[in-house]
Amino acid sequence: MSPLRDWPIKRKLTAILLLISGLVLVLTSAAFVTYQVVTFRGTIQSHLATRSRILAANSTAALAFANEADATEILAALKYDPHMVAAALYNQDGRVLATYPVAATADLIPAAPQPDGYRFQGGRLVGSTPVAQGGKRLGTLYIASDTKDVSDALRLSGVIAIVVLAIAMLAAYALAAALQGRISAPILALAETATAVSTRQDYSVRAPKLGEDELGTLTDAFNQMLVRIEDQDRELRRYATELEQRVAERTQELQERHEAVRRNAAELLAANQELDAFAYSVSHDLRAPLRSIDGFSHVLLEDYAAQLDQAGRDSLQRVRAASQRMATLIDDLLKLARVTRAEMRTEVVDLSGMARDIVAELQRATPERHVEFAIAPGLEARGDPRLLRVALDNLLRNGWKYTAKQPRPQIEFASTNVNGERAFVVRDNGAGFDMKYADKLFGVFQRLHSAAEFEGTGVGLATVRRIITRHGGRIWAEGAVDRGATFYFTL
Amino acid sequence: MDPTHEVEILLVEDNPTDIELTLRALTSRHLANQLFVCRDGAEAIDFFFGNAPNALRDIGVTPRVILLDLNLPKVDGLEVLRRLKGDERTRTIPVVVLTSSAEQPDIAAAYRLGANSYIVKPVDFEAFSRAVSDLGLYWLLVNRPPH
């Protein structure tokens, strides 16, 4: 059997009610029975005392005259009371004058008179009464009665009590069973509702209210809680739906954006391929006719030299020079295009070492020139080594070119601090330029010197700027005519 | 073998000017006698692998060197190169790519396909002439082919 705390409320309530009413009934019955017994004992004691006094009064003459026969006869009247067990008359000396029954045994009659008074002794009520006349004590009357009446009464009241107890308990059980519902029903209803809520997640159910008592208040509170939970649940669901919708919208948006990016990438790829094709055709198709122009000018000069005068030969030489210059322009433009579309691979680049290599190359190519180079050691930067080499090569080559007319040419590569930012510096003491035209320095085909002064196509610095820009850096120049030029760049 | 039918240089070139200038450069060094010209890539492939009666392969000649332009009509130079170097019979013939293209991807592709040399045609005729005659001399006289 499950422990008491696991019993259903119904059973608990019924048990409590039965326990209480049982206890009350048992206590009441015990009190009733005790009262009955005490009262009855008092009653029979008083009856026996009365009877004793009557008998004692009747016995005075017999005692006074020590008449044994009379005394015996008087006592024999006791036979009409079936409860009388024994009786005896003692004279003044305490000797037994007469007994009842006549042949009473010694265990029924004490040998000497007992002190006056009544008491229950060994299942009997015994008593001694003085026999007196005119204030003079003549002897003592001893009388003993059984207590069958008392035990009968006790038995009867016991039976009554048990019957009453049984009936009362039955009635109590019936009432408890009927009335416990008043308390347990709302609790059970609450429990049922709570179970429904927790198992089905149905927050729309409500516990029925069965009264205005504390349980009613509890039910109200519970229902209010359910209302709030239902509201919150609805709100949550709404949020969830909204969130889902928003996620779906976002996903769609992202997909669209992704699609757009993909399209852009494809377009960019197409544009790059077009640029490649363009560069290819420039490289191939523009050079072939130039070669024809140059080649056949040469053929003319070789095969028809006799038919041409000096002016004609000069003209043909100019045609050849122009075609070769155009070839150089095409090559430089191609280089610029290559710089623009080349893929960047970033790593740490030793710019000092790179500058030393370029300088060595320049000196090898034109050993007759003597230029003083000052290259700061340990200059490093993060960038694409191929592109940075093209940029540095252009800048140093520029310095080399524009110091050609300088008696003591000097070129320096170093780094400096410009507004808290590290900038690399390429400085020469060559032809320099007018700061008025500083903004034209980096434009394609922009030149500040005539081809007669210094040859060049005007693509080199444009290429440098494009490389620096692709590295996220800036490039600018300072200079003055005949006082050199200084190029600064950041990476 | 009839020496008049021997082809020493096979020029694959579509531009008539370039053909003439090449011829002129080779003539100046007396190297133009056994020159055969294919004017597009398809013709070059026919020359080696085709069934045409004029396919000189039929009479058992093998050029000492092939000068191959890249930008050709019908079948481009790289494809011709791929076919030549992919075939057991023609793999050992030296192929010199002679083109206007100085593009890195072209150069890389040509060498990957097995080109023996890559020369960008100079615009300057003297330089062009020097390059062509030098390579003619080198491949015909200096270089020793397998037999």
User: Contact B21/A291, CB-based, under 8 Å?
Assistant: yes
pLDDT of residue A205 exceeding 90: no
Instruction: Tell me which amino acid residue A388 is.
Output: L
Residue B125 to chain A, least CA–CA distance (Å) = 5
Residue A146 DSSP SS3: strand
Q: So what's the pLDDT on residue A123?
A: 82
Q: For strands A96-100 and A84-91, give the pairing.
A: antiparallel
Parse chain A into domains and list their residue ranges. 4-171, 203-341, 342-489
The partner residue sitting opposite A283, judged by closest CB among B18, B102, B122, is: B102
Instruction: Tell me which amino acid residue B85 is.
Output: K
A101: how many CB neighbours lie within 10 A of its CB? 16
Share of chain B above pLDDT 90, in %: 30
Inter-residue contact A27 to A102 (CB < 8 Å): no
Domain A342-489 top-level CATH class: alpha beta
Task: Kindly provide the residue ranges of all beta strands, DSSP E only, lying in A319-472, ordered along the sequence.
Answer: 347-350, 372-375, 380-383, 410-418, 421-428
B34 shares contact with chain A (CB less than 8 Å):
no
Average pLDDT, chain A: 87
Inter-residue contact A126 to A142 (CB < 8 Å): yes
Distance CA A43, CA A35 (A): 12
User: Contact A291/B103, CB-based, under 8 Å?
Assistant: no
User: Contact B17/A294, CB-based, under 8 Å?
Assistant: no
Average pLDDT, chain B: 84
Instruction: Tell me which amino acid residue A163 is.
Output: V
How far, in Å, are A14, A177, A179 from residue A182 at the CA level?
Answer: 12, 10, 6
Q: So what's the pLDDT on residue A429?
A: 92
What are the chain A neighbours of B22 within 8 Å (beta carbons)?
Answer: none
User: Contact B100/A279, CB-based, under 8 Å?
Assistant: no
Residue B121 to chain A, least CA–CA distance (Å) = 8
Least confidently predicted of A34-43, A165-174, B1-10: B1-10
Which superfamily, per CATH, for A4-171?
PAS domain (3.30.450.20)
pLDDT of residue A451 exceeding 90: no
pLDDT of residue A473 exceeding 70: yes
Q: So what's the pLDDT on residue B56?
A: 53
Q: So what's the pLDDT on residue A165?
A: 87
Which residues are CB-neighbours of B61 under 8 A, at least 6 positions away? Answer: B1, B5, B6, B7
Residue A142 DSSP class? E
Distance CA A39, CA A232 (A): 74
Residue B54 has φ and ψ, to the nearest 5°, of -85, 5
The tokens describing A303, both together, are 């095969």
A59-91 residue pLDDT tens: 888 888 888 888 888 888 888 888 888 999 998
Residue B126 DSSP SS3: helix
Looking at per-residue confidence, does A349 or A64 come out higher? A349
pLDDT of residue A377 exceeding 90: yes
Residue B144 to chain A, least CA–CA distance (Å) = 31
pLDDT of residue A280 exceeding 70: no
Distance CA B132, CA A261 (A): 49
- What is the pLDDT averaged over residues A254-277? 86
Residue A433 to chain B, least CA–CA distance (Å) = 33
B14-58 residue pLDDT tens: 888 889 989 988 888 888 777 888 988 888 888 888 766 555 555
Nearest CA in chain A to B100: A284
What are the chain A neighbours of B100 within 8 Å (beta carbons)?
Answer: 283-285, 287-288, 291
Q: How many cross-chain Cβ pairs, A to B, lie less than 8 Å apart? A: 63
What are the chain B neighbours of A287 within 8 Å (beta carbons)?
Answer: 100, 121, 123
Which superfamily, per CATH, for B3-140?
Response regulator (3.40.50.2300)
Q: So what's the pLDDT on residue B7?
A: 67
Q: So what's the pLDDT on residue A37?
A: 84
Cis before residue A101, ω within 30 degrees of 0? Answer: yes
Distance of CA A431 to the CA centre of its chain: 75
Q: So what's the pLDDT on residue B60?
A: 63
Mutate to test the interface with B, among A285, A294, A299, A323 (most CBs of B within 10 A): A294
User: Contact A291/B102, CB-based, under 8 Å?
Assistant: no
Q: So what's the pLDDT on residue B147?
A: 66
Place of tokens 């970033």: A346
User: Contact A291/B24, CB-based, under 8 Å?
Assistant: no
Q: For strands B65-68 and B9-12, give the pairing.
A: parallel
Looking at per-residue confidence, does A206 or B12 come out higher? B12
Q: So what's the pLDDT on residue A150?
A: 80
Q: Which burial class, exposed, middle or buried, applies to A116 when counting CB atoms under 10 A from its CB (0-12, 13-18, 19+)?
A: exposed
Distance CA A320, CA A454 (A): 20
Distance CA A338, CA A99 (A): 159
- What is the pLDDT averaged over residues A43-57? 89
The partner residue sitting opposite A295, judged by closest CB among B17, B100, B106, is: B17
Q: So what's the pLDDT on residue B5?
A: 46
Q: Give, for A463, the enclosing helix (H) or strand (E).
A: helix A460-470
Share of chain A above pLDDT 90, in %: 24
User: Contact A287/B99, CB-based, under 8 Å?
Assistant: no
Which residues are CB-neighbours of B38 under 8 A, at least 6 positions away? Answer: B10, B11, B12, B13, B44, B47
Place of tokens 């592109």: A387
* HSE-CB of A449 using CA atoms within 13 angstroms: 16
Q: So what's the pLDDT on residue A134?
A: 83
Inter-residue contact A459 to A382 (CB < 8 Å): no
Residue A255 to chain B, least CA–CA distance (Å) = 35
Place of tokens 């005392």: A49
Residue B126 to chain A, least CA–CA distance (Å) = 8
Parse chain B into domains and list their residue ranges. 3-140
Inter-residue contact A156 to A33 (CB < 8 Å): no
Nearest CA in chain A to B14: A288
The tokens describing B21, both together, are 């200038």
Q: So what's the pLDDT on residue A2?
A: 66
pLDDT of residue A343 exceeding 60: yes
Residue A281 DSSP class? H
Least confidently predicted of A253-257, A483-487, B7-11: B7-11
Q: So what's the pLDDT on residue B1?
A: 36
User: Contact A283/B126, CB-based, under 8 Å?
Assistant: no
Distance of CA A142 to the CA centre of its chain: 96
What are the chain B neighbours of A294 within 8 Å (beta carbons)?
Answer: 123-125
**Interface residues from chain A to B (CB-CB < 8 Å):** 276, 279-280, 283-285, 287-292, 294-299, 320, 323-324, 326-327, 331, 334, 338
A114-130 residue pLDDT tens: 888 888 888 888 989 99
pLDDT of residue A420 exceeding 80: yes
Residues 71-130 of B with CB under 8 A from A: 71, 99-106, 121-126, 128
Q: So what's the pLDDT on residue B2?
A: 39
What confidence tier does B3 reach under pLDDT thresholds 50, 70, 90? very low
The b/e string for A190-226 (b: 16+ C-beta within 10 A; e otherwise) is beebeeebeeeeebeebbebbeeeebeeebeebbeeb
Share of chain B above pLDDT 70, in %: 87
What confidence tier does A334 reach under pLDDT thresholds 50, 70, 90? confident
The partner residue sitting opposite B123, judged by closest CB among A279, A287, A334, is: A287
User: Contact B100/A285, CB-based, under 8 Å?
Assistant: yes
What are the chain B neighbours of A283 within 8 Å (beta carbons)?
Answer: 100-103
pLDDT of residue A445 exceeding 50: yes
